[in-house]
Amino acid sequence: MNWITKKLSYLSEKIKIVIKKRPTKEEIETSEWTSCCKGPILKKELENNFWVCPSCNKHHRINCRQRFDTFFGKNNYEILETPTPMDDPLQWKDSRTYKDRLKDARKKTGQSCAIMVVRGKINNINITACASDFAFIGGSLGAAEGEAILYAIQHAIENQNPFVNFTSGGGARMFENLIALSQMTRTTLAINELKKNNLPYIVVMCDPTAGGITASYAMLGDLHLSEPDSIVAFAGARVIQATVKEELPEGFQKSEYVQKTGFIDLIVERKDLRDKICSLLSILLKKNSAINSISNETSEDSGTFTKVAS
Ligand SMILES: [Zn+2]
């Protein structure tokens, strides 16, 4: 091997190393940078713009704390501790154990389950709210998440607060099987109690809201809001396409498409969510108190309120 061949071989090894060296998931998460349409962008720059790209308006996925920081303002809300049912009731194991998955998810998100419940205030309206972290096993619904939603609804009823639910997640958690599916019924029954108390329930469907979550508490709001370009679906597009054997329309299962088909009332940019929800709640609560103040309420009044609140 002459010196030219040696040099070429050395360079080719170096190039291989550079190409192969991609940042790990952990490195991406801890980095100050992320990427969007124009390549790398500082996370700080995104954060200052509600985690929305200033160039393409992409609404980046955010965790629960980031959600409440943008909605209530930093340190303007109180995180409520929710009940913690027994982990891994079915002792599930496939390629990994469910216990290991839970351990990783908790380490990654700093939460005990996918849903965080808080109480906060916007413009003198006390609100009970919850949000889901997609990074916690895809934001899926298990017993702990069901308990968190029940706890949030109970808190809303006890304090006579409206309930705002920022939903996201892929559906019922398969590692909990029937126990996960039963959370759909439990949360639906709890929302009925909220409605019996005439308390407004606003859902903000965040990217992505799908499966059993769409089939239960995400679709039972008095008003359904969503952020631009969010996936709102039940079954995945590929499954539907394979079943109906037809080409699906462009933008199928995006919030803009779902709004046209009547499942979403309003698409609101993240920067406007706080003001929009505040205005909607003011209207709903005013209607509510107006009805309550009429001792002999007429059926016409009730009809008007029901129409507004459903
Ligand atoms: Zn962008």
- String of DSSP letters for 174-216: GGGHHHHHHHHHHHHHHHHHHHHTT--EEEEEEEEE-HHHHTT
Q: 272 C-alpha vs ligand 1 centroid, how far in Å?
A: 19
Q: How far is the CA of 84 from the centre of ligand 1 (A)?
A: 38
Span from the CA of 283 to the centroid of ligand 1 (angstroms): 35
* C-alpha of residue 46 to centroid of ligand 1, in Å: 10
Of all helices (H) and strands (E), which one includes residue 33? strand 33-36
Q: How many whole angstroms from 33 Cα to the centroid of ligand 1?
A: 13
- Which pLDDT value is given to residue 304? 39
What was the pLDDT predicted at 307? 40
Give the distance (Å) from ligand 1 centre to CA of residue 121: 31
Residue 3 has a pLDDT of 72
- Low-confidence stretches of the chain (pLDDT < 70) are 1, 17-23, 287-310
Ligand 1 geometric centre to CA of 268 (Å): 18
Q: Residue 119: which of 111, 128, 106 has the closest Cα?
A: 128
Give the pLDDT of residue 298. Answer: 39
In this structure, the strands spanning 77-80 and 33-36 are unpaired
What DSSP element (H or E) covers 17?
helix 3-20
Sort residue 96 into left (φ over 0), alpha (ψ -120 to 50) or beta. beta
Q: What is the pLDDT of residue 302?
A: 39
pLDDT (0 to 100) of residue 13: 76
How much distance in Å is there from the Cα of 86 to the middle of ligand 1? 41
What distance in angstroms lies between residue 58's CA and the mean position of ligand 1's atoms?
6
- Ligand 1: centre distance to CA 112 (Å): 32
Q: What pLDDT does residue 11 have?
A: 76
Residue 55 CA to ligand 1 center (angstroms) comes to 5
Ion ligand 1 nearby residues (CB, 5 A)? 36-37, 53, 55-56, 58
Distance 60 CA to ligand 1 centre (A): 9
Question: What is the reported pTM?
Answer: 0.85
The answer to whether the beta carbons of residues 147 and 115 sit under 8 Å apart is no
pLDDT value at position 135?
A: 95
Cα-to-centroid distance, 171 and ligand 1 (Å)? 28
For residue 10, what pLDDT is reported? 77
Could you tell me the distance, in angstroms and rounded to a whole number, from the CA of residue 54 to the centre of ligand 1?
Answer: 7
How many A from CA of 111 to the centre of ligand 1? 29
Q: What is the distance in A from the centroid of ligand 1 to the CA of 26? A: 22
* 53 Cβ neighbours under 8 A, 6+ residues apart: 36, 37, 41, 46, 60
CA of 141 to the centre of ligand 1 (A): 30
